[in-house]
Structure 1
Amino acid sequence: MSKPTTEDNDELLLSCRYGDLDDLKAYVDKFGADSLSEIRDDNGNTILHMTSANGHIDVLDYLLPLVDSNLLSVQNHARSTALHWAVLNQHLDTAKKLVGLQPGPGVNLIDIQNAKGRSPLTEAELAGWNEGAAWLVEKMNLNTGAEGEATAEDEQDVPDTKADVEVEIKDAEGRIARAKISDSG
């Protein structure tokens, strides 16, 4: 297989941005998948940043098995991840795929802060995207031990009822976000 040029890589990034799955497949057929995880634009954005920012689920479904799962944690020059971009543009299905990829960083993606000190959850709150913020709160690790496991103390505090749960989270800027999680959705 031949080696892609800078122009080929730039075209690939545009294909991911615009959701052109056919061009993406042609690139992989011609150059292979090995270089996909290394491609960046001038701002440090990866193919996952471009795909996630625009909510191209079909492209994401194609790419995720081909790239190293560590690519999900890669931060661009503004220290934003692909999840930040999915959240900024309110693409819930994309956010779910990024967080749910196994093996992958999973819910730890929710805690990564960009250069402004904002996590994806903070970005959702600032955008007023309640659906996304509620989903992120539901998925994130709130009470975990040293290795991410619930502690015995945490298990004693779990109520046996199906009551609504109200959560308050302090973001990096000191603001309080409140979310209500209920069994009824």
Structure 2
Amino acid sequence: MSRRMLLATNNAKKLVELQRILDAALGGGAIELVSLGDVEAYPEVPETGLTFGENALIKAREGAKRTGLPAIADDSGITVDALNGMPGVLSARWAGKHGDDTANNELVLAQISDFADEHRGAAFVCAAALVTPGGREHLVEGRQQGRLLRSPRGTGGFGYDPLFVGEGQDRTNAELTPEEKDAISHRGKALRALAKVIAKEPVR
């Protein structure tokens, strides 16, 4: 029988991605993920943390408290060397409006337009948290090192994927298949680590 868990997001792409990764790690049907749209609505908690880990825990704690389900939340983004690690936790709203991928990508490209290719290093970072109704907390992190191109390529993924080429790759994350991306991405690494926690600890 599958265990029901909350993924504290309204992002349908994240739900599909996490369900796919958990199915691969734990076997299909082990975990049934539901999103915020599947539970009784509650006020969105402000993401006031200064790190990805703090924000992931804020969201997971609230989800577990409000629903009585084990809650998973992640916070992720891109850190650009030439921008001293920014956008960081501001990645989704770097251009002002939350979730405007095109505007965010255009702004980052404009901000580093004068930097040579060898100085366009970047990393995707994902912190993933699991908080149980009983108060147990787990936090893991995954990173993908790479570099930013000068123009977007590819139509897959979301966020900064069309700009980002991971180490050892010649395609952007947006040009990879979902399975290829899962194998090397920051979120794939973090969620596989979290899947190991879920597999061996009762989530009460």
TM range, normalised to the smaller chain? under 0.3
Q: Which has the bigger relative contact order, CA under 8 A and spacing at least 6?
A: 2
Higher strand share: 2
Q: Which has the higher helix share?
A: 1
